[in-house]
Each structure stands twice: as structure tokens, then as C-alpha cells.
Amino acid sequence: MDLSKISEPQGRDSETSFFHRLFPVKRHEALTVVLLALNVFVLLTCYYLLKVLREPLILLGGGAELKAYASAGQTILLLGIVPAFGWLASRVSRLRLLTTMQLIFMGCLVGFYVLAQARAPIGLAFYLWVGIFSVLVISNFWSFTNDLFTEEEGKRLFAVIGIGATLGAIVGAFVPRFLHSSLGVTGMMLVAMAGLGLSILLYRVVDIRERARRERVKSQKAAKAEEPMSKRGGFALLLADRYLRLIAAMVLISTIINTTGEYVVGKIVVDAAKATADPGAYINAFYSSYYTVVNIVTALLQALLVTRIIMKLGVRGALFIMPLVVLGGWFGMILFINLSYVRIAKTAENSVDYSLNNTVKQALFLPTRREVKFKAKAAIDTFVFRLGDVIAGLGIVALFVEVLGLGIRAFAVMNVGLAAIWLVLAHYTGKLHDELVAKQEANADANGKTTEGEAGTASH
């Protein structure tokens, strides 16, 4: 069966239908988009399933204190994992790279399953592994997706593909409730392993289709997909390029704001719960409702607005929305510190973060070279992201609360300041993004074919 010929164009796309306006996918792109959305749905379902499993393992095995220090452990481990990933990426094609990484993760799950069956203490190791798995496997997916599409295609399609991620997060959070009684904690590890196997198959189908399609239009991407990348590592690429450093700075700031924000929510909820007859039930009910509303709003934004916003404002304009939402929400928190306001502000912040901001962050890599999309992006999505967690959790929260004895308003003032810096970073990042896109289009016009961007030359 020739996978490359499935769902090829049959006539003119309908540009005026309501469905096309909502989901601007052309006929020949439809199957690839569906397969990618299904793939990220599977990956997010696996992650959230494993995320649910890790909590009792770490809390029963070492307590909340060990969980807090585990974030620092993940960051330290990534100092070795990111270069190792870059070394592998320099020696194999993109499909073999993705397949190898998925097989390694599957092997780890088998190992954890065997150890858990033997009642070995796996809590800390499993927590560390899930934290690394979560950022690297999703980063790899978006690196692959970035490598498939042009700037114009990515602006139209990333939000549609992202619907799969949103639905996967929702389903993954509910699946353990139905499987735990029949499979147990260790059995669900095997379910996640099967999901990763399905993901490998989906990668292969999409890769075959897209390489065949690009070969027919004589695109350079089809040939380059089989070529290993240069020898430069992810950290070296990141440190050498201003555009990438700006993206990393925005990721770091957004992570610090989000992590300190979740601390603030938890602090206010716990204080409110103390006044109730059953504090535990109050906290559980709050977070169940809180996460449900965030997931619903995220899904609606992703499906109905994200594509329209990016196509209307462009990537550069869309970069400003998230820091503006953060700035407004935390400025209000300086004036109004109560649970109702904090819940509304954080629901808005998280919903925009998980939908629009995540899609725009992926789109920033569209005009970059393949080695940047895979290696530098992995360094940003893993190490820089986890570093923000550590700075916020073990640094800022500990300093503000344990050393200085400051309250919630201090976090609000700090995050307003960080949001203002974020806006400045968004301005310069958007400017460099547009320069890279213009250079990419100029190269395409000069060569008569699509070429890859040149991040690392115009932005030093």
C-alpha cells in the first residue's frame, strides 16, 4: 500500500465553507494534519497518564520534600541528556532519531514495570524520568512538525494540530480513573508503552507521505530529512544565536511566572480550606473544578480562536498577547488578593498559555534550520524550562517565604515586572522572526524553490 498517495488533492479546495474558515486545512494537507493531531493526542495522553502515576509513587516513597528537590535533579540530568540527544541527532536521520528516542522511552517503561512488580523503590527515579520524558517527547514532536511545514503552512495548521494535544491532556487525566481498578499502577505503564509504539507508527506514516509529496514538487526538505544534522550541540546553537537566546529568555520568564503563580493559588486555597469542616475535600473539589475549567477554556480557544489570531496578527503580533494577559492579571492581584480573583486570573493565564502561547512558541521555529528545530529547541524546551521551575520553586519561593517572610503581593509585584520584561523580549523576538521569514522568502524566490531559514546568521 502506497501511503504517500492517501488523500491526495481531488479538485479545488473550498475556501469559503464554514469548516474551512474554522480549520483552514487544504485538501492535500488533511490526512497529514489528522495523523499529526492523533500523534500528539496519543503522546499527551501517555504523559498525563504517567503524570498521574508518578504522584503516589514519589509521595509515598519520599514525601513532598523529595518531590521538591526532584525538580533540581531533573535540571542536572538534562545537562547530560541534551548533549547526548544532540550527538545522536548529528548521526541519524530525523525519523531514526525520533524512533530511537521513543524506543528508549519504551524500554525505560518496561524496566520500571519489572522493578515495580518486584516492589523495588522506584518513586524518585520514576519521577525524574517522567519529568524528562514529558518535555523531550513533546519537544521532539513539534520539532518534527516544524520540519514538515513552511511558515505559511505552520501559521494555518499548528493550532489545528494543537487540538489533539489539548484533547490528549483531557483524556489522559481521566483515563487512570477507569483503568486503575483493573490494571493497577504498573499495568498503566504498559498502556503508555503501547501508546509510544503507536506514535512511532504514526511518525513513519507521516514521514513517508510528506517526503513523497515534497519529492514530487522537488523540495529540498525531502532530501534533507534523510541527512544527519551538523555536529554542533543544542547548547552551542542556543548560546551562539541571539534569536534563540531571546526565545529561551521568554520561556524562562514564563515558567517562573507560571510556577510562582501555582504556588500562590495553592497558598490561597489552603488558607481558605482551613476555615472549612473538611479541608482535604475542599482542596480536592477546588482543584478538580479549577483544572476542568482551564481544560475547557483551553480547548475552546485552541479550536475557535488560535488560528484566526495568528493569521490575523501574525506570529509577531501574537507574541504580545500572553505577556499582556499576565501583566493585567498580576497587576490586578496587587489590588485584589482573594480566591475568586486569583482563580479567574490564573484560569485566563493558563488557558492562553496552553493554547495560543504554546502554538506561537512552536511557530517561532518555523523559519529556522533543521538542527535548530531539533537540537536547540530541545535544549530550550527541556533544560531552560526545568531551570525556570528550579529558580521559581527552590529559589524565589524559598527566598520570599522562608527568608524574607513576604506575602502574595510580593509575588504579584515581581510577576508584573517580569511580564514587562517579557513584552520587551517579545518585541525583539518578533522583529528577528520577521527578518528570518523575509530572508527565507528571498532565498526561495532567488532559488525558485523552498529553502530553509538561516537562524544564526541574521540574528547574532
pLDDT value for 146: 93
For the ranges 105-109, 177-181, 247-251, 323-327, the lowest mean pLDDT is seen at: 177-181
pLDDT value for 183: 73
pLDDT surpasses 60 at 454: no
| Banded pLDDT at 282 (limits 50, 70, 90) | confident
For the ranges 159-168, 214-223, 361-370, the lowest mean pLDDT is seen at: 214-223
pLDDT surpasses 80 at 98: yes
pLDDT value for 445: 65
pLDDT value for 193: 94
Mean pLDDT of 386-410: 89
Mean pLDDT of 6-21: 50
User: Residues, the chain, total?
Assistant: 460
User: What tens digit of pLDDT does each residue of 322-367 get?
Assistant: 999 999 999 999 998 888 999 999 999 999 999 999 999 999 999 9
User: What tens digit of pLDDT does each residue of 416-439 get?
Assistant: 999 999 999 999 999 999 999 999
Asked if 22-224 and 234-447 have one fold, the answer is yes
pLDDT surpasses 60 at 444: yes
pLDDT value for 330: 97
User: What tens digit of pLDDT does each residue of 55-68 get?
Assistant: 666 655 555 556 55
| Banded pLDDT at 280 (limits 50, 70, 90) | confident
Confidence (pTM): 0.85
pLDDT value for 373: 94
pLDDT value for 18: 54
For the ranges 6-10, 178-182, 267-271, the lowest mean pLDDT is seen at: 6-10
Burial of 236 (0-12, 13-18, 19+ CB in 10 A): middle
Mean pLDDT of 398-424: 94
- The rounded mean pLDDT for the chain is 85
User: What tens digit of pLDDT does each residue of 216-256 get?
Assistant: 665 555 555 555 677 788 999 999 999 999 999 999 999 99
**Choice between 186 and 155, residue whose per-residue pLDDT is larger:** 155
pLDDT value for 62: 53
pLDDT surpasses 80 at 118: yes
pLDDT surpasses 90 at 212: no
Percentage above 70 pLDDT, the chain: 84
In the chain, domain spans: 22-224, 234-447
Architecture of domain 22-224: Up-down Bundle (1.20)
One CATH from 2.40.170.20, 1.20.58.740, 1.20.1250.20, 3.40.630.30 for 234-447: 1.20.1250.20
Grid coordinates representing 215 are 519529492
| Banded pLDDT at 458 (limits 50, 70, 90) | very low
